[in-house]
């Protein structure tokens, strides 16, 4: 699909996903790192027995389908090599401090003079202008300043951080989408474009329903944790089962089905089945209208039911009877999840430490232009000779000067 195109990836861990997505679509992606390796190589978690600079599982996860080279952009030889690559490239991604490339004579104005069709994508915490544009930031601080942290947890306690870092993944996905959109326009106009991607606004976009509610109602979303707020009633959504937890929304459509399970298990009398208009139960509860069975008795029945089933049993029975019950899957659960197995989602990857691991595959399937994994993350400067030598025609001495490492 994107096989005719070349992507230059200068991101330091904060934009790896963006170029990886284009690589999955077939683009030729060249990961360009400083001589000591990008910041992404120092991101945990780390693989056991791995040697520096190849220990980072995070780097391994988000740099498949890329060739890897090093360039010393502090040297004129390194900058000239980048200029030569830009001349033949279609996209350039970066994630340094705003205008860092400008300071060394490689900003957008110069890049578009070299290549009038280049799409230059700059990923930064707050964007390239405004009073915070030069502020340092982390995944945690962006989650806080972007808003999502404000709706995590319960209102009685302080907001919670998002356990698994999400900021740069959302930002990377937005950057990839914006890059392809800019390129589609370039095909029509023939003009280069600079794409300014703010991580803060990418995170705000993940909570559009909350921002819309504030605009309409004048109040913020209230943190509810694993509770559903219906009027004055707080209804739990997560219940302990025999081997973990499952999501069971005790609202009308669900209760209309599982009330039969209550009776089968001897948790309530058979009269419960016909003694309540279950499909409308939660509406009447919300509106303060009469209900036949108090909410606490219903929740007690759900709690006692859930603990008698495993997560898998709840899922399978729910699927069979048309009610949505979801196991709270751990990563270990996902590795053996039948749906993912049958779709061939998981792939086996050789790790740099000599071991193999089951890793996530492709998110999207396309019938005419299938995505693919053709290679795993490159080792540091693995393709210096291939790219700088074979493609640019540089000698070993020139490669050493440009890359900052011995060309061998």
Most confident of 206-210, 216-220, 355-359: 355-359
pLDDT exceeds cutoff 80 at 219: no
Do 273 and 321 fall within a single domain?
A: yes
Question: What's the CA gap between 343 and 177, in Å, rounded?
Answer: 25
Q: pLDDT for 15-33, tens place per residue?
A: 999 999 999 999 999 999 9
Which pLDDT score is estimated for 229?
72
Do 234 and 203 fall within a single domain?
A: no
Query: Which contiguous run of DSSP H or E holds residue 70?
Result: strand 66-70
CB within 8 A of 52, min separation 6: which ones?
41
Number of domains in the chain: 2
Question: What's the CA gap between 380 and 384, in Å, rounded?
Answer: 9
pLDDT exceeds cutoff 80 at 47: yes
Which pLDDT score is estimated for 213?
66
- The mean per-residue pLDDT over the stretch 43-70 comes to 93
* Poorest-pLDDT segment among 232-236, 242-246, 313-317, 372-376: 232-236
Q: Is residue 60 part of a domain?
A: yes
pTM: 0.90
CATH number at residue 188: 3.40.50.10540
Q: Is residue 213 part of a domain?
A: no
Share of the chain above pLDDT 70, in %: 96
DSSP state of 246: E
Q: What domain range includes position 108?
A: 6-207+361-403
Q: Is residue 336 part of a domain?
A: no
pLDDT band, very low/low/confident/very high, at 221 (cuts 50, 70, 90) = low
pLDDT exceeds cutoff 80 at 268: yes
**Within 13 Å of residue 236, how many CA atoms lie on the same side as its CB?**
13
Do 51 and 164 fall within a single domain?
A: yes
Helices (H), 207-310: 208-217, 252-264, 271-274, 281-287, 295-306
Q: pLDDT for 322-375, tens place per residue?
A: 998 999 999 999 999 999 999 999 999 999 999 999 999 999 999 999 999 999
Query: pLDDT averaged over the chain?
Result: 92
Q: Is residue 346 part of a domain?
A: no
- Residue 62's nearest CA partner among 13, 134, 123 is 13
Torsion region of 231: left, alpha or beta (phi above 0 gives left; psi -120 to 50 gives alpha) = left
Do 137 and 248 fall within a single domain?
A: no
CATH number at residue 246: 3.30.1540
Do 56 and 165 fall within a single domain?
A: yes
């Amino acid at each position: 699909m994107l096989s005719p195109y070349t992507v230059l990836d200068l991101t330091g861990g904060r934009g790896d996903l963006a170029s990886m997505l284009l690589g999955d679509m077939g683009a030729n992606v060249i990961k360009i790192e400083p001589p000591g390796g990008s910041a992404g190589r120092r991101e945990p978690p780390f693989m056991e027995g791995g040697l520096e600079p190849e220990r980072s599982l995070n780097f391994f996860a988000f740099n498949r389908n890329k060739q890897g080279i090093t360039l010393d952009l502090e040297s004129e030889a390194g900058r000239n090599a980048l200029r030569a690559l830009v001349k033949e490239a279609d996209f350039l991604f970066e994630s340094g401090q705003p205008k860092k490339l400008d300071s060394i004579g490689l900003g957008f104005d110069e890049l578009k003079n070299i290549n009038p069709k280049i799409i230059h994508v700059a990923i930064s915490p707050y964007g390239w202008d405004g009073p915070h544009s030069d502020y340092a930031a982390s995944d945690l601080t962006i989650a806080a300043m972007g808003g999502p942290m404000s709706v995590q947890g319960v209102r009685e306690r302080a907001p919670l951080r998002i356990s698994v870092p999400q900021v740069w993944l959302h930002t990377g996905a937005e950057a990839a989408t914006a890059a392809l959109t800019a390129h589609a326009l370039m095909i029509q106009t023939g003009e280069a474009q600079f794409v300014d991607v703010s991580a803060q606004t990418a995170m705000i976009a993940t909570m559009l329903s909350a921002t819309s509610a504030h605009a309409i109602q004048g109040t913020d979303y209230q943190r509810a944790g694993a509770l559903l707020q219906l009027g004055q009633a707080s209804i739990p959504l997560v219940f302990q089962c025999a081997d973990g937890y499952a999501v069971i929304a005790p609202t009308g459509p669900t209760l209309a089905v599982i009330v039969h399970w209550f009776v089968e298990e001897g948790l309530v009398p058979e009269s419960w089945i016909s003694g309540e208009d279950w499909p409308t139960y939660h509406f009447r509860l919300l509106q303060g209208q009469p209900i036949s069975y108090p909410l606490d008795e219903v929740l007690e029945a759900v709690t006692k039911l859930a603990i008698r089933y495993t997560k898998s049993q709840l899922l399978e029975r729910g699927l069979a009877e048309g009610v949505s019950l979801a196991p709270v899957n751990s990563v270990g659960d996902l590795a053996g999840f039948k749906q993912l197995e049958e779709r061939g989602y998981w792939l086996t990857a050789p790790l740099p430490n000599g071991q193999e691991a089951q890793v996530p595959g492709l998110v999207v399937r396309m019938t005419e232009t299938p995505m693919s994994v053709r290679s795993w993350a490159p080792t540091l400067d693995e393709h210096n000779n291939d790219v700088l030598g074979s493609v640019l025609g540089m000698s070993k001495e020139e490669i050493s000067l440009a890359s900052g490492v011995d060309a061998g």
